Amino acid sequence: MRPVTYSVKRIASRIEQVTAPRLLDPNTAISLLFTKFSHWSYEDEVRAFVTLEGRDPEIGLYFAEFSERLRLREIIVGAASKLTRADIRCALGELAPTVAAWKARLAFSSFRIVRQRNERLWA
C-alpha cells in the first residue's frame, strides 16, 4: 500500500515515448498507478494492488480476501446511489460493526464530492 501522489502535470511525456510492443519500465508503471490530478487531493487516497489467485466460480469475478493486511475500513455511497444503510449492513455481514459507511453528495459551491451531513437524507 502507498499513498497516491497528486500532480498538476500529466506524466504523459514518459508514456508517449513508449511504443508498442515495448513495455513500460516499472517506475513509469508505478507512477501511472499511483498518480492523480491535484484536484482530487482532498481524497487523501491510499492504493493497494494485490494478486488475485482464483476466480469466483459462481460469478466469474476475482476478489482479494480481507485480512490483517487488507482491511475494509470505509464505504462511501455515491450521491445518486439507491443503496440504503440496511443494504450496506446486509452486504457487510459480520464486518458491519467495524466499517464506517456514509452517503456522499455534491458540494453546494464547488465541484467536490462531500459527506452528506443530514443523516435523514439517507435511509
Q: What pLDDT, in 10s, does the model give residues 40-69?
A: 898 889 888 877 777 888 998 888 888 888
Q: pLDDT tens digits, residue range 13-43? A: 555 555 555 677 888 888 889 999 998 898 8
Residues 63-121: tens digit of each pLDDT: 888 888 888 889 999 989 999 999 999 999 999 999 999 999 988 988 888 889 888 88
Instruction: Name the strand (E) or helix (H) holding 104.
Output: strand 100-106
Amino acid sitting at position 78: G
Rounded Cα gap, residues 104 and 33, in angstroms: 25
Domain locations in the chain as residue ranges: 1-49, 71-123
pTM of the model: 0.62
Write phi, then psi, for 74 (nearest 5 degrees): -155, 145
**Average model confidence (pLDDT) across the chain:** 85
What is the grid cell recorded at 112?
A: 467536490
pLDDT score of 18: 54
